[in-house]
Amino acid sequence: MPTSLVPPFTRETAIAKVRMAEDGWNSRDPERVSKVYTEDSQWRNRAEFPRGRKEIVEFLTRKWARELDYRLIKELWAFEDNRIAVRFAYEWHDDGGHWFRSYGNENWEFDAEGLMQRRFASINDMPIREEGRKFHWPLGRRPDDHPGLSDLGL
């Protein structure tokens, strides 16, 4: 499933690629998200190392069953040729109603068709009080007028 956003990236196409990824993850649809990765994509996500779309779908299914009311913002950090680095934050709660803000960085590498072939993520979770939440849009895509990470001071 090739994409029109292919390397080498410009600043504009890298920003568009980051927003496309954010929108996909905010859908919380593992099948949809998996389609932007190569069939043999390699991940590192915390202590898990999914390989290929099937394992990515399984991973995301478990993730979103545990991380409820998930809302994510991604921001471009750097790019060059077929690689993009992003920083992100997302808010979620567990089944006990405890809220968290998870902060992280990702390094992405793409094939010539614009599919992500490698994803390395480092993530830290911070407990927050519900009144400390900053991501309040309805579940799904972040509205265009909602502040980004830098605007929120995150």
pLDDT per residue of the chain (154 residues) written in tens, 0 to 9 = 446 799 999 999 999 999 999 999 999 999 999 999 999 999 999 999 999 999 999 999 999 999 999 999 999 999 999 999 999 999 999 999 999 999 999 999 999 999 999 999 999 999 999 999 999 999 999 999 999 999 999 9
pLDDT of residue 141: 98
Domain boundaries, the chain: 9-134+142-150
Instruction: For domain 9-134+142-150, give its CATH number from 3.10.450.50, 3.40.50.720, 3.20.20.70, 3.30.56.10.
Output: 3.10.450.50
Q: Where are the beta strands (DSSP E) in the chain?
A: 37-45, 68-80, 83-93, 99-110, 116-128
Q: Is the pTM of this model over 0.85?
A: yes
